[in-house]
Amino acid sequence: MTSLAYTFVDSPIGDLLLAGTGDALHYLSFPSGHKAFGPKPDWQRSDAPFREVKRQLDAYFAGELKDFDLPLHLGGTAFQNAVWRYLDGIPFGETRSYGRVAADLGRPKACRAVGAANGNNPIPIILPCHRVIGQNGSLTGFGGGLPVKELLLRHEAGERQDGQP
């Protein structure tokens, strides 16, 4: 695999790390949370491959974009890819439970596997894993931290607090 390019994009939830090639986005990482990470030593800093990603993220946070249209590179297993494709189909402003995702994928007993795949989503926000919640409506597990998940869901519900999403 060739070395990836990376950049940072300012957002209302902090600087987001983007990594990929000129052909596709491979990773988006939050500035904090248990899944946050920084650039790898062999990655090269370059803003050019991410102009469209930045434009769409800016439009999303401004409330002007509900569906991303970007080329994505996803690794992962067949099941993880099925979950990630499912995430892409959850409409802006709506949520699904882990159980519903599992059932909709034809694996009704795979709630924990859905949670694990959700937790390994390499491109959060764009593949909106924040839209998956507990069966009882509780916010559970999120690589960027639960406060960020709550902010993203409030943003999509049209709520604004102190200029935040």
Angle of the 78-88 helix axis to the 111-119 helix axis, nearest 10: 80
- pLDDT tens digits, residue range 41-86? 999 999 999 999 999 999 999 999 999 999 999 999 999 999 999 9
The pTM of this model reads 0.90
Question: Is residue 120, in this structure, part of any structural domain at all?
Answer: yes
pLDDT score at 162? 47
Q: Are residues 86 and 132 in the same domain?
A: yes
Q: Indicate which CATH number applies to the domain containing 9.
A: 3.30.160
Q: Are 41 and 150 in contact (CB under 8 A)?
A: no
* SS3 assignment, position 1: coil
pLDDT band at 165; cut points 50, 70, 90: very low
Whether pLDDT at 164 is above 60: no
Q: Which domain holds residue 43?
A: 5-61
In the chain, DSSP assigns E strands to: 5-9, 16-20, 25-29, 44-45, 96-97, 132-133
Q: Which of 102, 117, 129, 148 is catalytic?
A: 129
Q: What is the residue type of 159?
A: E
Does any domain span residue 39?
Answer: yes
Establish whether 111 is a catalytic residue.
Answer: no
